[in-house]
Amino acid sequence: MSEVRLRFAPSPTGYLHVGGARTALFNWLYARRMDGKFILRIEDTDLQRSTKEYEQAILDALKWCGLDWDEGPDVGGPYGPYRQSERTKAGIYSEYAKKLVEMGRAYYTVYDKIDRKKELLRTFDFPKDYVDQGHDVTINFKVQEGKTRFYDLLKGELEFDNSTIGDFVMIKSDGFPTYNYAVVIDDHLMRITHVFRGEDHVSNTPKQIMIYEALGWDIPQFMHIPLILGFDRTPLSKRHGATSVEHFRRIGILSKGLMNYLALLGWSVGEEEIFDVKEKVKQFNPSTISNKGVIFDPSKLEWVNGKHMRLMNVEELLEEFNDWINFAGKKVPQVERPYALRVVQVCREKVNTLAQLYEFAYPFFFDDYSFEEQFVSEYLLSPFAEELLKKAIDMFNNLEDWSVMGTEKVCRELAGLGIASKNKVFQTLRGAVTGRLVTPGLFETLSILGKQKTTERLTRTLEYRSTKIRERTAQT
């Protein structure tokens, strides 16, 4: 059996959309499952909208997703070039277009110079005079009578009456091919065996089939994947907020988490929900993908992501975290690796994204955290706080054992002093060393912070309290 070859063919007119990423993922999954090839092709025939920046952004996003390709514009391959603009310059599309004209399956259309939509004539002969005079000329495919059918892996046998399909442009007047034409030429020349793409291409498929048939080429296996929709059931777009892969990366979603969620969206692998997509390659069966439009649910994405954060080993998470800090352009914590590992270990228990992790871990990394309003009004300014903090500074200064058990012992002693209730004592201490009322466990927090930071912070908080009290007295 010949080699299975699949491709993902984005057009560089925007960032990689999660829908595109899902399509790429399914292509990739099947290529890997069949020990075939995954090819990346850039469809940049829309001169107006395509940019190099977007192309690079898409490549970066795909790489981040872990969807590596065997052939593509950056790595080359036996069937290159892999950019349609380059293939156009190489004359690949016009060659077959001319052939189709010669066969009588396509014709030239000449348009009016002023009213550029108005057809002047159709001809099988190259209209040299008109071209010389500067008229727009396209090459159009001539649709014949009959029916066109094809088999879709997901939808089964599909049939279209050719009378519902009009002749269509293959070569635009700027010399570039249209999508429906170029895709056929490229897929054939690149030996593509399976075309997995969005459902929005179903109605275009018969046009492509007609070209395959006219040229006497084998038709690849098609599978059209339902679109990803927003909660209002309209296709997921900017109107639903940012939808690019880059956006989810920015808000701290792990590549593993995104891929896992995207795979889950329309494809169920038994009861299991949390997995590394790469480990599910063997079980990938494209025909089990759901056949209905699916709604993108950000809250489930977050949940999946949080699970991954808690399941992966801490070293790996720390690495992801550092990469993210860098990517997101956040202030980089200047701490030792063992310290960072402990922080990540305790903080990941209660967050679902790297951004949340950063936010949650902030007081462990930096001293410039601020005090939460509620902590100040409800605890810090309370009468008991002064005595408690003084006592705490004293006891922590004398503490030698900074293990979790050690800090717990001191905390419990402080709570037993009768200065305030246990809850108030703990919350006051928590706020005093982190500025907030919601943090990892207090004993762990203190243990990680250590003697120097803890006592410094307690002292500083006590001073802050005095200043606040003075301000308040001055006002009244």
Q: Which of 98, 142, 201, 453 binds RNA (CB under 7 A)?
A: 201
Residues 6 or more apart whose Cβ sits within 8 Å of residue 202: 152, 155, 158, 224
Residue 173 touching RNA (CB under 7 A): yes
The reply on whether position 403 binds RNA by CB under 7 A is no
Q: Which region among 8-16, 25-33, 51-59, 277-285 touches RNA (by CB under 7 A)?
A: 8-16
In the bound state with RNA, the residue whose beta carbon lies nearer, of 161 and 394, is: 161
d(CA 438, CA 29): 41
Contacts of 252 (CB under 8 A, 6+ apart): 305, 324, 328, 353, 354, 355, 356, 357, 358
Nearer to RNA, 159 or 218 (CB): 159
Cβ-Cβ contacts under 8 Å for 23 (sequence gap 6 or more): 8, 196, 197, 198, 225
Cβ at position 359, least distance to RNA in Å: 7
In eight-state DSSP terms, residue 200 is G
Query: Is position 238 annotated as part of the catalytic site?
Result: yes
How many residues belong to the site for RNA (CB under 7 A)? 85
Write out the binding residues for RNA, residues 107-146 only, by CB under 7 A. Answer: 109, 111, 116-117, 136, 138
Contacts of 232 (CB under 8 A, 6+ apart): 240
- Identify residues 39-58 at the interface with RNA (CB under 7 A): 43, 45-46, 49
Nearest to 393, CA basis, from 333, 441, 465: 465
Q: Tell me whether residue 453 or residue 469 sits nearer to RNA (CB atom).
A: 453
- Which of helix, strand or coil describes residue 295? strand
Number of residues written out for the chain:
476
The one catalytic residue in 238, 292, 331, 422 is 238
Question: Is 351 in contact with 357 (CB distance < 8 Å)?
Answer: yes
Q: State the nearest-atom distance from the C-beta of 122 to RNA, in Å.
A: 12
Is 172 one of the binding residues for RNA (CB under 7 A)? Answer: yes
In 3D, which of 364, 380, 18 has the Cα closest to residue 225? Answer: 18
| 249-288 footprint of RNA as x/- string (CB under 7 A) | ---------------xxx-x--x-x--------------x
Per-residue mark of binding to RNA, 351-370 (x: CB under 7 A): xx---x--xx----------
Site for RNA in 304-323 (CB under 7 A): 306-307, 310
- Counting Cβ atoms within 10 Å, is residue 81 exposed (0-12), middle (13-18) or buried (19+)? middle
Q: What is the contact mask toward RNA in residues 214 to 253, using x (rule: CB under 7 A)? A: ------------xx-x-x-xxx------------------
Window contacting RNA (CB under 7 A); options: 31-39, 95-103, 178-186, 277-285: 178-186
Which residues in the 440-469 window bind RNA by CB under 7 A? 440-444
Contacts of 38 (CB under 8 A, 6+ apart): 6, 7, 8, 27, 28, 31, 32, 67, 68, 69, 70
Q: Which residues are catalytic?
A: 238
